[in-house]
Amino acid sequence: MSTKSILKESSITFLEKYLNNASPTGYEAEGQKIWMDYLKPYVDTFITDTYGTAVGVINPDAPYKVVIEGHADEIAWYVNYITEEGMVYVIRNGGSDHQIAPSKRVHIHTKKGIVKGVFGWPAIHTRNRDKEENPKISNIFIDLGCETKEQVDKLGVHVGCVITYPDEFMVLNENKFVCRAIDNRMGGFMIAEVARMLHENKVKLPFGLYITNSVQEEVGLRGAEMITQTIKPNVAIVTDVCHDSTTPMIDKKIEGDTQIGKGPVVTYAPAVQNNLRELILNTAEEKNIPFQRLASSRVTGTDTDAFAYSNGGVASALISLPLRYMHTTVEMVHRDDVENVIKLIYETLLKIENNETFSYFK
């Protein structure tokens, strides 16, 4: 199977629509509907839960259950305080970066619809009187073009409204996908593509496959924590993003040596089950899929941790997509890596045997 054949034109159309849609933590449902609509022809049924995690299921009656997982949410802000002059101060919803906020356009999501605004910032001319302040949570603010708090209220903006950036999908130099929310809407896209390939190649899996798009990862792996109790899987292969450490200002001695375009990143960590990881690495070598290695100390910081430590222990592994500029509005990944993550998950599923325990004590 040639790598070039993996992403179809219809795949990219879905990806663009899915990325451009806002799905902040706690408000993922609209994105989940887009995702389920795309996945529907390739699965037998769906599971959804109280907080919005969506799961496409193939072979729902099979007792042995394999999960492939990404997370659906993106970082955002909450309206936290509105001044009498109509300025809006914020708190984080997930790991939003205060340094990139000044001069960004924003969408505030209200019951009346989207209200547009901007993160204001004092002009450079006015900042050089003394030691200038850096952007921080306490001083970044949103200007809605209102003069009073009453005008803000009238727009439908109130404390607790969620705020996203409107930045949309683009392709740089033919093969770099750029957008906000690639972390980790791209994961949801990649697992959906695995389901499509299984369907189009008429693969009959001997186990149940649970294509899982979890909510609330950005605030502590919460969606995965919930859904793993519902599914009770035997195996979980998680996909998320990791850092491209070759860009300026990143220390490889701390972050490891991983780069976009060099292939999927396979993680070594306590939460990663060694036999499952070796199956993935052997598959990559056998199928000539390029890969990179990364070590995590105590936690992976991804939904892998939530799956691994659930239900008395679930054999779990992490296949990451290297990404530049994480938690900015210009997150960047390489098309080849996207295709190779899809291919690696797909080929690994073909090698998992029904009722495999991955036990160290056989």
Angle at 279 between CA 206 and CA 342, to 5 degrees: 75
Calpha distance 266→264 (Å, rounded):
7
Name the residue among 315, 276, 307, 281 with its Cα closest to residue 212: 307
Active site (annotated) includes residue 217: yes
| Cα four-point dihedral sign 356, 214, 41, 279 | negative
* Binding residue positions: 71, 183, 218, 240, 327
Calpha distance 307→227 (Å, rounded):
9
Give yes or no for a contact between 82 and 224, defined as CB atoms under 8 angstroms apart: no
Name the residue among 253, 260, 274, 262 with its Cα closest to residue 318: 274
Calpha distance 66→6 (Å, rounded):
22
Name the residue among 235, 191, 208, 205 with its Cα closest to residue 344: 191
Phi-psi region of 333 (alpha: psi -120 to 50; beta: other; left: phi over 0): beta
* Binding residue positions for Zn(2+): 71, 183, 218, 240, 327
Calpha distance 340→159 (Å, rounded):
43
Question: Parallel, antiparallel, or unpaired: how do β-strands 65-71 and 235-243 relate?
Answer: parallel
What's the Cα-to-Cα distance from 42 to each of 29, 71, 135, 148, 190, rounded to whole Å? 20, 19, 46, 51, 14
Calpha distance 232→2 (Å, rounded):
34
The one catalytic residue in 28, 74, 193, 217 is: 217
Token pair in block for residue 257: 């040596």
Catalytic residues: 217
